[in-house]
Amino acid sequence: MTLSLSEVLEQIGQRAAAASRILSQTTTAEKNKALLAIARRIEQETETILAANEADLRAGSGRGLSAAMLDRARLDPKRIRTIANSVREVVDLTDPTGEVLKEWGRPNGLKISKRRVPIGVIGIIYESRPNVTSDAASLCLKTGNAVILRGGSETIRSNLALVEAISEGCKEVGLPEYSVQLVPSTERAAVTLMAQLDRYIHLIIPRGGRSLIEAVTSAARMPVIKHFDGVCAAYVDRVADLRMAEQIVVNAKCQRPGVCNAIETMLVHEAIARDFLPACANTLWERGVELRGDLLTQEILGSKVVPATEEDWRTEYLDLILAVKTVGSLEEAVEHIETYGSHHSDVIITEDAVIAQKFLNQVDSAAVFWNASTRFNDGAEFGFGAEIGISTDRLHARGPMGLEELTSYKYLVEGKGQIRG
């Protein structure tokens, strides 16, 4: 008898719920033992995983996937060692569960303790790279959560082989084999069905393109934490150190242009535009960056600047393109960011502490920087040890999501027979 897709998901949900109850009562030492066993299993199963990956790549190139996509999907012995070592690194991270967040007494003698606990069952929907499979699994395991993964169709065989190794690792140390499960279907309907599974799944994290996130957000009945666009800006103030400004702008644009915390817009105070723009533009041009500017920028930099349209101010290029606008004041810079930005990561470069504090307070973004590259909005750079992504939402988790953001809390209340009058 074959189960329908919705029956498969129901079964996965039930198994995850059962696993989650056990994981929530598992000690840190046991979870760490599981992580080590998982890393070992992944290495032991290198050949099986590579064979599965080979089949994924063959199917992908048959379906005409681009070379870049195939490369993202490709595993080799070295990448598998890296994957296993990433799992091992999670052992050294502090397990946040069990932490007492707050403790207080009430006049009636009740003792209340707010304790950090796992969320329960987490669903993660992602595309392409198979290392997300093991990274997400190990972070969820470390925090006592069961996880249901739904990876991209390009790597379904690789992911199944990886999850098989992970399950074996769990079983080996006596943890539930269904602690980590992969939805074994490439059908688009699986995403919608998963998003409706609020009986079992407490949180869904979609990681991928806009259409995937939109589909999950529309369908989901449980909380969703999105990892959306970064339309990030650098504002070069009138009292900026112009050399520092150039370094930060170049780093935030060029160091890795395809990521969410790279800048897409540069705002320059009019008073220093003629001093700052020519040199900075030359450096950016040398790095292959296309500049799209407003009228004053065009006037200062000449015809090499592409005239910017309204659309440029709100575009996440994820590419070597930078929109440039001159502004007359801090207020205008903040107004621009609040109107067109995506509340992700923004920076002011200034030597004036009062101006800087205004910017830090008024710009409503997950991370607001003063004299540092926006590229530092990142779990590892913040010292979180690992991250499941950078949340563009405002509830529960905002900015880098580390282990603490994979937990909830509960209240434990001790009394001596108190009743309410």
Question: Which tokens belong to 369?
Answer: 């920087």
Q: Does 259 bind its own copies (CB under 8 A)?
A: no
Query: Residues binding its own copies: what is the number (CB under 8 A)?
Result: 65
Q: Does 377 bind its own copies (CB under 8 A)?
A: yes
Q: Does 406 bind its own copies (CB under 8 A)?
A: no
Question: Which tokens belong to 337?
Answer: 């960011």
Stretch in the footprint of its own copies (CB under 8 A) among 50-58, 163-171, 312-320, 409-417: 409-417
Q: Does 371 bind its own copies (CB under 8 A)?
A: yes
Minimal distance, residue 107 CB to its own copies, in Å: 9
Q: Does 50 bind its own copies (CB under 8 A)?
A: no
Residue 120's SS3 state is: coil
* Residue of 128, 319, 338, 352 that binds its own copies (CB under 8 A): 338
Distance, in Å, from the CA atom of 132 to the CA atom of 64, rounded to the nearest integer, reads: 23
Distance, in Å, from the CA atom of 181 to the CA atom of 124, rounded to the nearest integer, reads: 10
Q: Does 168 bind its own copies (CB under 8 A)?
A: no
Q: Does 376 bind its own copies (CB under 8 A)?
A: yes
**Shorter beta-carbon distance to its own copies: residue 152 or 206:** 206
- What is the identity of the amino acid at 206? P
Q: Does 248 bind its own copies (CB under 8 A)?
A: yes
Distance, in Å, from the CA atom of 50 to the CA atom of 155, rounded to the nearest integer, reads: 11
Minimal distance, residue 74 CB to its own copies, in Å: 26
* Residue of 56, 195, 375, 388 that binds its own copies (CB under 8 A): 375
**Shorter beta-carbon distance to its own copies: residue 45 or 405:** 405
**Shorter beta-carbon distance to its own copies: residue 1 or 310:** 310
Distance, in Å, from the CA atom of 345 to the CA atom of 363, rounded to the nearest integer, reads: 9
Residue 14's SS3 state is: helix
Letters for 285-304 (x = contact with its own copies by CB under 8 A, - = none) are --------------------
Distance, in Å, from the CA atom of 240 to the CA atom of 350, rounded to the nearest integer, reads: 4
Write the CB contacts of 271 (distance below 8 Å, at least 6 apart in sequence).
238
Which residues within the stretch 100-129 sit at the binding site for its own copies (CB under 8 A)? Answer: 104, 106, 110, 112, 117, 119-120
Minimal distance, residue 58 CB to its own copies, in Å: 37
Which residues within the stretch 380-399 sit at the binding site for its own copies (CB under 8 A)? Answer: 381-383, 393-396, 398-399
CB 73 within 8 A of CB 153: no
**Shorter beta-carbon distance to its own copies: residue 120 or 293:** 120
Which CA distances in Å does 326 have to 145, 159, 300?
Answer: 48, 48, 11
Distance, in Å, from the CA atom of 72 to the CA atom of 68, rounded to the nearest integer, reads: 6
**Shorter beta-carbon distance to its own copies: residue 3 or 413:** 413
Distance, in Å, from the CA atom of 64 to the CA atom of 367, rounded to the nearest integer, reads: 39
Other residues' Cβ atoms within 10 Å of the Cβ of residue 130: 29
CB 12 within 8 A of CB 177: no
Which residues within the stretch 2-41 sit at the binding site for its own copies (CB under 8 A)? Answer: 21, 24-25
Letters for 204-243 (x = contact with its own copies by CB under 8 A, - = none) are -------------xx--x-xx----------------x--
Q: Does 203 bind its own copies (CB under 8 A)?
A: yes
Alpha helices in 131-269 (DSSP H): 131-142, 156-172, 189-195, 210-219, 242-254
Stretch in the footprint of its own copies (CB under 8 A) among 43-51, 162-170, 177-185, 245-253: 245-253
Distance, in Å, from the CA atom of 148 to the CA atom of 13, rounded to the nearest integer, reads: 8
Could you give phi then psi for residue 165, rounded to 5 degrees? Answer: -65, -40
* Residue 321, CB-side half-sphere exposure with 13 Å CA sphere: 15
- State the residues that interact with its own copies by CB under 8 A: 21, 24-25, 104, 106, 110, 112, 117, 119-120, 202-203, 217-218, 221, 223-224, 241, 244, 247-248, 250-252, 255, 338, 356, 360-362, 364-373, 375-377, 381-383, 393-396, 398-399, 408-420
